[in-house]
Amino acid sequence: MNEGQMKPDAASPHNPEALPDVDRVIELSSKDDGHCTECRDCPIGFDGVINHYLKEHGYVLLNVRTVTEAGYNSETDHVAIALLGHPRK
């Protein structure tokens, strides 16, 4: 497994069952425009979207990581990824 690669049983938007106290997992990326999928609010910036989910909808921060990917004209882009989970009720 490469460094930074998530384990197959790790929490992700496709596997929220990996965390028993979380019923939903969302993945936010610093390269996306960012909007709330729950209320369609559009906070400004990557940090604004994260804070919106934490404060307004009760999500918890599960993980923050960076990934490197090929960008425009073969340049390298560094992207921040945040995983947020919504606690089970």
Per-domain boundaries in the chain? 16-87
Q: How far apart are CA 83 and CA 62, in angstroms?
A: 5
Backbone phi and psi for residue 47, each to the nearest 5 degrees, phi listed first: -65, -35
Q: What are the DSSP E strand ranges found in 1-89?
A: 22-29, 60-70, 76-87
Query: Rg of the Cα trace of the chain?
Result: 14
pLDDT for 85: 92
Over its length of 89 residues, how does the chain's per-residue pLDDT go in tens digits? 444 444 445 555 556 566 668 888 999 999 887 788 888 777 788 899 999 999 999 999 999 999 998 877 778 888 999 999 999 88
What pTM was estimated for this model as a whole?
A: 0.72
Q: Where are the alpha helices (DSSP H) in 4-85?
A: 46-57
End-to-end CA distance of the chain: 34
